[in-house]
Amino acid sequence: MLNISPNSVSHLIDLSKYDSNKAIYLSQMPRNMLRWFLFFMIIIVIIAFLPWTQNIQADGFVTNLRPEQRPQVVNSVIAGRIEKWYVQEGQFVEQGDTILFISEVKDAYFDPNLIDRAKEQLIAQEKGVQAYMKKITALDQQINALMQAQKLKAEQAKNKIRQSELKVQSDSLDLIAATSQVDIAEKQYLRIESLYKQGLKSLTEVENYRQKYRDAEAKFVSAENKLLTSRNELINAKIELTTVQAEYNDKIAKSESDKFTGMSDMLAAEGKYAKMLNELSNYTIRSSMYFITAPQSGYVTKALQSGIGETIKEGDAIVSIVPNLSELAVEMYIRPIDLPLIQKGAPVRFIFDGWPSLVFSGWPNVSVGTYGGVVQAIDNVTSDNGKYRILVAPDSNDVPWPNELRMGSGAQAIALLKDVPIWYELWRQLNGFPPEFYKESTVSDVNASKGKSAEKDEK
């Protein structure tokens, strides 16, 4: 049976009539199994050399690419009391539509005629400023008049000084003449008296010449007195000029002091006027804030404040609005170890929640129900979860994203990297190596880089 002995017994026994012999020695199963094994090995080898797209998988959610088109809350700039609602949740509102009306809660703004009263105060303050301006103009005119009067008085005093100087000069000449007359009269008197003693002249002639001598002396004293009086008048004229200048300088200084005081009061009034104008503007703007309006068109998703009569503070959120026009994107997070493998413009495939799909991560071309995207932005710092945030925009060259997508929907992202054989990917996964990302430089790339460097050298 086992063919151990060289002596065969097959000629003595007919084994073909036994079923066991047919099942063992005449069966084709081993050969078929070998064929199937070889067939599967060939298939495995062929599959091992098929291209496989390496990828990075991450979870994300649908958001908006532009910050102003993301869901936002409408806040109240001022504190108030809710009086009336004009919208309801789920309602579409246009930009500028009234959402609710609030009333004032601060006692400083309770007056219903606050704006009119502020306008009246502003008008009164404006008239006060105008009055100060007129006062300053009047003081300017007064100062000009004083300066003109000072000039005229100074000229008058100078003329008087000149007159006094001329009078002093005239009196000096009179004194000289009187002195000469005294000398002549004295000499004549002495000569006549000498002749009288000799008996040549009469006593009457002597007395006449004595009288003339006395008259000449009197005229000399009078001329000397006039000269002293003229000199005194000259001194008084000079003192009067100084007095006039000092007097008018004092008056001008006082007027200028009043002018500067008026200017100071006018500037203070202008400052108060500007402050009141600012208050009036604040009152006007505040009155327009009682009606809270939609900052942009969208849907009212949730009312964060409710009821009538509820008090809200400055900056409190009132409602949440989702803009109706938006540029959708996916916000996804990747591990720091995968960050060097992602760059702007890299392709990404998405599986959105609610859209059935058949995914082959290594063969994105045969996947069904996925949508393409392009990396738009990469954060430079990690988020609170220790990962890097990436924004992915729709790929314009791929199938458009579903119109029914809403912000906040979940998305599974598959970032596509390099195409490698399947056997290499299995070997990489078993050894825990990172995905292949950097491309080898080809001959054309090297030539292109050499050409660019040559152009730079020429420049």
pLDDT per position as a tens digit, 372-394: 889 988 888 888 888 899 999 99
Taking the domains of the chain in order of start, what are their residue ranges? 15-68+326-437, 71-104+290-322, 114-288
CATH assignment, 114-288: 1.10.287.1700
Task: Tell me the C-alpha to C-alpha distance, in Å, between residue 96 and each of 70, 208, 276, 297.
Answer: 18, 126, 29, 8
Distance of CA 427 to the CA centre of its chain: 57
- Residue of 73, 66, 61, 62 lying closest to 322 (CA atoms): 73
- Cβ-contact 321, 301 below 8 angstroms: yes
Strand 388-394 with 371-382, pairing: antiparallel
Nearest by Cα to 364 from 52, 49, 47, 46: 52
Please give the order of strands across the beta sheet that includes 72-75: 72-75, 317-323, 298-303, 92-93
Chain segment 148-183, per-residue pLDDT in tens: 988 888 888 888 888 888 888 887 888 888 888 888
Q: Is 127 helix (H, G, I), strand (E, B) or coil?
A: helix
pLDDT tens digits for range 19-37: 665 565 555 556 677 778 8
- Would you say the C-alpha torsion 189, 191, 197, 202 has a positive or negative sign? negative
Q: Using the predicted structure, report yes or no on whether residue 48 has a pLDDT greater than 60.
A: yes
In DSSP notation, 301-335 reads: EEESS-SSS-EE-TT-EEEEEEESS--EEEEEEE-
Q: What is the mean pLDDT of the chain?
A: 80
Which pLDDT band holds residue 16 (cuts at 50, 70, 90)?
Answer: low
State the fold for domain 15-68+326-437: Elongation Factor Tu (Ef-tu); domain 3 (2.40.30)
Residue 360, burial from CB neighbour count under 10 angstroms (0-12, 13-18, 19+): middle
CA separation for the pair 37, 46 (Å, rounded): 14
Q: For the whole model, what pTM was predicted?
A: 0.53
- The reported pLDDT for the residue numbered 70 is 80
The CATH code of the domain at 71-104+290-322 is 2.40.50.100
Residue with token string 């009306």? 101
Amino acid identity, residue 396?
S
Pairing of strands 92-93, 98-103: unpaired
Looking at residue 100, its pLDDT comes to 92
DSSP 8-class letter at 368? B
More confidently predicted of 57 and 239: 239
SS3 164: helix
For residues 392-407, give the mean pLDDT: 84
Render pLDDT for 208-266 as a digit per residue (tens, 0 to 9): 878 887 888 888 888 888 888 888 888 888 888 888 888 888 888 998 888 888 899 88
Range picked from 185-194, 281-290, 398-407, 427-436 for highest mean pLDDT: 281-290
Two tokens at 377?
């932005």
